[in-house]
Structure formats: C-alpha cells, structure tokens
C-alpha cells in the first residue's frame, strides 16, 4: 500500500478478534443486509461454483452454500472471525488477498470493506481473484 494509513490493521484485527465473540449480538442486522445483497443472485441464471466471502461474520457463507455454491472460502483479517463462518476459512487481509487470478466466479464483501486503507487497491485485489465473467457483490455502511 502506498497511500495514507488511516486504519491500523493490527488494531482492526484485534477489534475483530474480540467482536467474533459477540457476532451473534448483531446477527439480525448482518442477516438482513446479507439477504438483501444475496437477493441480487436471483437476477442471474449463472450457476456459481466457487465463491469468496470476505468478512461475512458467519452469515454469508452458509447462505451461499444453501444457494448451491459448491465451494465457498471465507476470509477475514481476524482468525477468530474467519472461523465463525464455518467451512473453509482463511485468515487474510482484504488489502493483500492470497488468491490466484480467476480463483472465484463470485466474491461477496458484506459490510467489510469500510476498514481498508486502500479501497481501490482492495478492489483491484478482488478483481484479480475474480474470473473474467465473475460477479462481485458488496455492501458498505452509510
């Protein structure tokens, strides 16, 4: 990253580690936003086979699997928060995604990109991980 450092990534990780214990307290909000976001999948006939859930907090990955996505990887800056998702979990920084080019045909970032220092850089990382015909869905708090 070459721009200004707005968020101390270590502090964000520690915050998310602590928040993992309380994820159930905000589950109704996360579930509502996730449902609204994933409803967009109903607008396409494409069958997604490999999805990346960025910062889903245990809400997005199960919904993707329920929609028939066979391979779902959840990633989060916090190892504890990544583990909340169930299934395959990777501790990874949104600013430096460890996935090869075209690894996923769907990437979902539900209320998670507002903590990154370099949003254009994070979006470039996501684009790199997406297949050419892939879909990216995101929500940000306002």
**Which CATH number characterizes residue 88's domain?**
3.40.50.150
Contact criterion met (CB below 8 Å) for 53 and 71:
no
Q: What is the pLDDT of residue 2?
A: 59
Residue 63: both structure tokens together: 């919904």
For residue 77, is it within any domain? yes
Look up the pTM and report it: 0.87
Q: For the stretch 82-92, what's the b/e string if a residue is b when 16 or more beta carbons lie within 10 angstroms of its beta carbon? A: bebbeeebeeb
Looking at the domain assignment, is residue 3 inside a domain?
no
- Tell me which residue of 98, 88, 101, 8 sits closest to 56, measured CA to CA: 88
Tell me whether residue 129 is in a domain.
yes
Q: Is the pLDDT of residue 1 over 70?
A: no
Percentage of residues in the chain with pLDDT exceeding 90?
51
Q: What is the pLDDT of residue 84?
A: 77
Q: Is residue 36 part of a domain?
A: yes
The pLDDT value recorded for residue 79 is 83
pLDDT digits (tens, 9 = 90+) for 81-96: 887 767 788 988 888 8
Q: What mean pLDDT do residues 56-81 have? A: 89
Predicted confidence at residue 24, as pLDDT, reads: 72
- Identify whether 94 is part of a domain: yes
Q: Give residue-wise pLDDT tens across range 8-57.
A: 888 888 888 777 777 777 778 888 999 999 999 999 999 999 999 998 77
Q: Report CA torsion sign: 49, 52, 58, 63.
A: negative
Q: Does position 64 have pLDDT exceeding 60, yes or no?
A: yes
Structural domain of residue 50, as residue ranges?
A: 9-139
User: Number of structural domains, the chain?
Assistant: 1
In the predicted model, what is the mean pLDDT of the chain?
Answer: 88
CA-to-CA distance for 80 and 54, rounded, in angstroms?
Answer: 14
- Is 2 a member of any domain? no
Residue 4 lies in a domain: no
């Amino acid at each position: 990253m070459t721009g200004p450092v707005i968020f101390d990534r270590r502090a964000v990780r520690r915050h998310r580690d602590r928040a993992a214990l309380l994820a159930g307290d905000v589950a109704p909000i996360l579930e509502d936003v996730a449902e609204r976001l994933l409803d967009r999948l109903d607008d396409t006939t494409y069958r997604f086979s490999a999805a990346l859930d960025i910062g889903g907090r245990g809400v997005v990955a199960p919904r993707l699997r329920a929609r028939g996505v066979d391979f779902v990887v959840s990633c989060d800056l916090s190892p504890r928060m990544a583990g909340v998702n169930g299934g395959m979990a990777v501790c990874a920084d949104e600013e430096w995604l460890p996935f090869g080019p075209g690894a996923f045909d769907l990437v979902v970032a539900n209320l998670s990109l507002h903590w990154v220092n370099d949003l254009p850089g994070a979006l470039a990382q996501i684009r790199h991980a997406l297949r050419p015909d892939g879909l990216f869905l995101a929500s940000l708090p306002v």
